[in-house]
Amino acid sequence: MRARNRTLVLGVTDPSVVDMKVQEQPLSGVFSWFSKSVQLESSKQTDKVLDEIKTTEARTGASGGGAYATEVSDIDRAAKLMRLPSGILLATLERRSVNDRVTVFLQFRWGAPQGMAALPAWRALGPSLLSVDVNGLTPLNAEQIAFLTAKIQARLSYLPSPQGFTVALDVPRERLQIALQLLRDQMRAPVLPGWAFDFLQTHELARLAESKHDPQWASELARQHRMAALGLQQGQPGYVDSAAELIEIWKHLDIEAVRDYWKRYWSANDLRIGAVGPLPENFLGMIELYFGDWKKPQAPAFERWVPSFKPEEGARFVSAREPGKADLDKSHASAQVHWSQGFALNADDEDAAAMTVGARILAGGDIGGSRLTDRLRGHDAMSYSVDYSLDLPQQGNAAMLSLNASASPANALRVEAAMREELARLRERGITQAELDAARHELREERRRALSSDIALAATLLAQLEQTDDFAQDEARHLAALDALTVERVDAALRRLLMPDRWVIVITEADSTDQ
């Protein structure tokens, strides 16, 4: 789904955009994008900010946006792509939303892959450091930041990476300006105190020490196997550090390195924004005011890392439950069975739709309707859960299919054997017409539901800033690819792409390692 309307905004000088005296706080982690705010007691420093909230509510208004668009034609008419005078790329979709809230994704990018991957300081620049003290228009401490975030009902999540930082914001429309002001101060004027870094470092080292396993642990051996197959060394793009390596990284990281990293690279030189909801009329002015002049000309420009597929030989790694744990809390014991295989495929390739349908037939749905779910949870009744992930990249061709099942430690190897049988049966006998029809229907419904999700649309708009199709064109292309599929085409794609001897199998917490 891609937005089509493209506009060059020649000037944003909205006098209603007032520089508000506040600052803000992040709340939760990477995967739970919008967690609940923490309620804290008020403080004197925030009193004037609360007055600003009332002023902003009156100025911005209580509602806005167009109709609650869920049809691709309506979304196309409402979606706009803009390049602001500062160079910021902005994609907006103005429509009514639940509880009159606005969803905004901001993606800051910088640097070349090879150089940035070798710098570990990005790991520390998350909520733990950014939410403690800021020296913005109104200096605030951690409690004041948390109180204000809760007061304006803002939900934020942060995703740091070697080449950038992504923020997800969900906030009532009338308080969007304050939330952006708080975010601006947090990113542009963090104090980064040494005591907060020391606390974070101690916490990370303790967490990593607790998660660290024996060097012969199955997941670690699989990691080493994959890094060797890809030819990657520590400090290169795409390399995945072990727990032991991460411990060494955190041991040698210091606050001065983190401050230097922030000073050198953090900026809005390359900022892309996707926003969905009842956007206020002065939204463009807010973005320009708070981020438009945050430039660092000396910082290296963003360069995308596009990995290419490299074949990985099949392997099997099994770890039994660790000594001393075998008899503890058996009622909550769970073994993990993970199958993965990489293959050369891009999201726009001819076989992408066939692989998407094939993966859904094989492992989609946790309750029923897939081969593995029906076998492991239905017929054999020996798995707690079954799921899968299919990564078809928009750039490059390094695709990956992962199959996951959890079971009791005693059933781990039985689950592995059943998964092996189902994969062989799929390859030998293929799919049925009924399975193809059901998978097509489910995928159509998924795309329809995505059009009702502000979060999904904001993320899609962000990705579409570098693509060309509008929503209707993208929808038509995907649905046409689904409609063109036949049983024979899906079978051929699965047999071509998924090699029986290329699966990497990882089993942890099993009662036994015997095959």
Res. 365 pLDDT band, cuts 50 70 90: low
Q: How many CA atoms lie within 13 A of 390 on its CB side?
A: 20
Is the same domain home to 205 and 326? no
Kindly list the distances between the CA atom of residue 53 and the CA atoms of 99, 148, 152, 157, 179, in Å, as whole numbers in the listed order.
17, 10, 8, 22, 10
Is the same domain home to 239 and 273? no
pLDDT at 329: 52
297, part of any domain: no
Residue 143 maps to which CATH number? 3.30.830.10
Domain that holds residue 218: 199-252
- Sheet harboring 155-161: ordered strands across? 6-8, 79-83, 89-94, 271-277, 101-109, 164-172, 155-161
> How many residues make up the chain in this entry?
515
pLDDT at 69: 63
Q: Is the pLDDT of residue 54 over 50?
A: no
DSSP strands (E only) in 228-372: 271-277, 315-320, 335-344
**Distance between CA 70 and CA 450 in Å, rounded?**
9
2, part of any domain: no
Is residue 173 a contact partner of residue 278, using CB atoms and an 8 Å limit? yes
How many domains are there within the chain? 3
Is the same domain home to 408 and 457? yes
Is the same domain home to 182 and 204? no
In tens, the pLDDT along 181-196 reads 999 999 999 999 999 9
Q: Which residue in the block uniquely carries the two structure tokens 């030998």?
A: 428
In tens, the pLDDT along 395-441 reads 999 999 999 999 999 999 999 999 999 999 999 999 999 999 999 99
420, part of any domain: yes
Is the same domain home to 127 and 93? yes
Kindly list the distances between the CA atom of residue 404 and the CA atoms of 113, 380, 386, 454, in Å, as whole numbers in the listed order.
30, 16, 6, 29
Is the same domain home to 47 and 150? yes
Question: pTM for this one?
Answer: 0.83
In tens, the pLDDT along 322-334 reads 655 545 555 457 9
215, part of any domain: yes
The residue with greater pLDDT, 3 or 510, is: 510
- Helices and strands, counts by H and E, the chain: 18, 12
Give the residues across from 344 on adjacent strands.
398
305, part of any domain: no
Cα angle 57, 61, 64; round to 5: 135
Q: At what angle do helices 433-450 and 487-497 cross, to 10 degrees?
A: 80
Which has the minimum average pLDDT: 45-54, 100-109, 211-220?
45-54
**Residues 6 or more apart whose Cβ sits within 8 Å of residue 441:** none
**Distance between CA 258 and CA 260 in Å, rounded?**
5
